[in-house]
A and B are shown apart, each in its own frame.
Chain A
Amino acid sequence: MPSVISVDRLIKRYNHLTAVDGVSFTVERGEVFGILGPNGAGKTTTLECIEGLQPPTSGVITVLGMDVARDPRGVKARIGVQLQASSYFDYLTLTEILELFGAFYPQRAKPLDLLARMGLESKAGARVNQLSGGQKQRFSVAATLVSDPEIVFLDEPTTGLDPQARRNLWEVVQGIHAEGRTVVLTTHYMEEAQLLCDRVAIMDQGKLIALDTPTRLAEALPAPYTVRAATPTPLDPDSLLGLDAVLDAETANGTLTLQSSDATRTVPALIALAGAGLGQLEVQMATLEDVFLAMTGRNLRD
């Protein structure tokens, strides 16, 4: 698969602050690529350098075979960009804004088709400030699609949305992906990255600390599985620790929690130990949250 984006040793400094510190990665055509990390990790800066919004301090970025530093307008004509918390002209209707932005590109989609896709056809004559938070986000995604782009960039598309609106937007992103477009998104929601992204780059303090599929990132942990079960009679902690593949064990309020390197070995051993009294058995794979915690010692959303 050919790479549509290649970032090579990207560094971005503002005065004394190094926002992005030597990041390299490639994005393949047709994938949903997530950049994950806490606030201030450098996600947005990385994205804006790729989009040609900010000049890198050093490093080379190629998008669709074009050098962003040399031909920013050529790149911009073939990508769609949604910015974090940007607004549009206050006195124009949704249709008028899409017509306006469409005029900036050589190829364009029909405003009403875009609005219909986002479930906003009834709002075609409304202004942006008359939309709810979720509708605003869907509209700004619609605006990224106005140029029929090959790559769509979404910067924290679901931040600040309620769960229903967030799920709505996930479907929108999956729809864009299904059309064969490449999607690059930033998020600090683990479940979002896990659900939407084919591959995830984890950033922390301007550095890329991991890059892989969500599953492989989790599997790389020493104990990627958590096994929980209710026991009528307390079990001996030492015998729990002795179970196959178990690295850590805890019991509280009649529930035991085991950290396991391989659930397929731990679960049969646990059943053999506890017998018929075992209830509410649950196996959970590690989340990206756990990956981040394990790699940095910090929680993602602090």
Chain B
Amino acid sequence: MPFVELFKANIRTLLRNRQALFWSMAFPLIFVFVFGLFFGGDAQRATLLVVDRADDALSHQLVAQLEALDSFTVQPSTDEAAARQAVRDGDASYLLVLPMGMASTTGAGGTASALLVYDQGNASAPVVIGAVGRMLDAFNLEASGAPRLLALEPEGVQGQELTYFDFLLPGFVSMGIMTYSIIGIASVIALYREQKVLKRLLASPLRVRHFFASIVVAHLLLSMVQAVVIAGVGMALFGAMVRGNLGMLFLVVVLGNTVFLSIGFIIGALSRTVQAASGLGNAVAMPMMFLSGTFFPRDSLPAVLKAVVDLLPLSAMVDLLRGMALDARPLWDFPGALALLLAWAVGTALVAVRVFRFS
């Protein structure tokens, strides 16, 4: 069976090429370690400084309710200038200033404005502003004695706070698999051409599709090991959380990797030398790695660029893995990303089969 022997040969080659194997793990793990050290560990509770100028019954009630919230640690302060500086320096996340005479103002039917100070670079600020705002709304309703027409009953589905590192980890898994597959396959195909290994295969009755399939299957197996190692290190050493169905996560890993393997074959087929293949591979993989939301949410990109970047295969893979791993949601909750990844898998495979030749 040519396929079985070729598969064995590919697995042996993958395992014996120690240097490539090392980097297939080490490259994404470097990111895991660096970001894990900065952002890993348990979610840190934000500090909310409260300068209570009112110091009346209403303000005391409000502070007590804030203290009851899980999201942050409330810390009273008397010096507003010092508190502002603390937010600016990053020592505290938020500062809430309650105005003088809150109880009397609201008692007379007026509006008392509370001031929330936060660092504009703080990614979780919108969440906290929303939480505080909602709390104030509830407070208003209760104080006004108006009947509650609608009620929202939030049901927490996460046992633990998410950290930035939890957000990053699915990106690192995708990125590691992508770079190893695209650059690895492109270089090995170019090397086989340079060394005339492909020509030697052409001189035998071997069918191209057997060769093709054996490389793909061997690399898919390795990509699953890669995913386990990268995610495992992130979870074991830096307390990252991966939720969701493991089978479905692996399915996305496999599906994403078929795209990158096909891209690797295409680049390998179009490159005359190993250097050209590795250069072109990098030129394809690197922008994708940075643009597709491995490190940052793509929402911060300019709208036009985002529209394009959203269509990249790595974007779809990261979105699927992240959505499933962070919120424990099933695969079919993301039909758009799934369809996009499937389309890439089929499209790139068709092109790869068309352009790849032994000669």
Contacts and interface: CB of A to CB of B under 8 A. Distances in A.
Interface of A: 51-54, 73-74, 76-77, 81, 83, 85-92, 96, 99-105, 147
Nearest to B207: A73
A86 B9 CA distance: 18
Contacts of A83: 196, 199-200, 203
Contacts of A76: 203-205
A86 B205 contact: no
A96 B5 CA distance: 9
Contact of A85 (B9, B196, B206): B196
Contacts of A77: 205
A103 B2 contact: yes
A104 B200 contact: no
Contacts of A103: 1-2, 4-6
Contact of B203 (A53, A74, A92, A102): A53
Given A53-B359, A104-B206, A86 B2 contact: no
Query: Chain B interface mostly helix, strand, loop or mixed?
Result: helix
Contacts of A73: 205, 207
B9 A100 contact: yes
Contacts of A92: 9, 12-13
B359 A87 contact: no
Contacts of B17: 91
B203 A89 contact: no
B122 interface: no
Nearest to B18: A91
Contacts of B199: 53, 83, 86
Contacts of B206: 104
B195 A86 contact: yes
Interface of B: 1-2, 4-6, 8-9, 12-13, 16-17, 195-197, 199-200, 202-207, 359
A86 B6 contact: no
Contacts of A104: 2, 204-206
Report the 6 A-B pairs with minimum CB-CB distance, sorted nearest first: A86-B196, A103-B5, A81-B203, A91-B16, A87-B195, A76-B205
Contact of A86 (B5, B13, B197, B359): B197
Query: Chain A interface mostly helix, strand, loop or mixed?
Result: loop
Nearest to B359: A53
B1 A89 contact: no
Contacts of A85: 196
A91 B204 contact: no
Contacts of B197: 86-89
Given A53-B199, A103-B4, A89 B9 contact: yes
Given A83-B199, A103-B1, A96 B9 contact: yes
A100 B1 CA distance: 9
10 contacts: A53-B202, A76-B204, A81-B203, A85-B196, A87-B197, A89-B13, A92-B13, A102-B5, A103-B1, A103-B4
Contacts of A91: 12-13, 16-17
Given A76-B205, A86-B200, A103-B5, 8 more contacts: A54-B359, A81-B203, A85-B196, A87-B195, A89-B9, A100-B6, A104-B204, A105-B204
Max count, chain B CB within 10 A of own CB: residue among A76, A90, A147: A90
A102 B206 CA distance: 10
Contacts of A86: 195-197, 199-200
A86 B191 CA distance: 12
A78 to B, nearest CB: 9
B200 A51 contact: no
Given A86-B197, A87-B197, A103-B1, A51 B13 contact: no
Contacts of A53: 199, 202-203, 359
B204 A96 contact: no
A52 B359 CA distance: 11
Nearest to B4: A103
Max count, chain A CB within 10 A of own CB: residue among B6, B205, B359: B205
Given A87-B197, A88-B197, A99 B5 contact: yes
Contacts of A105: 204-205
A224 B6 CA distance: 54
A46 to B, nearest CB: 15
Contacts of B9: 89, 92, 96, 100
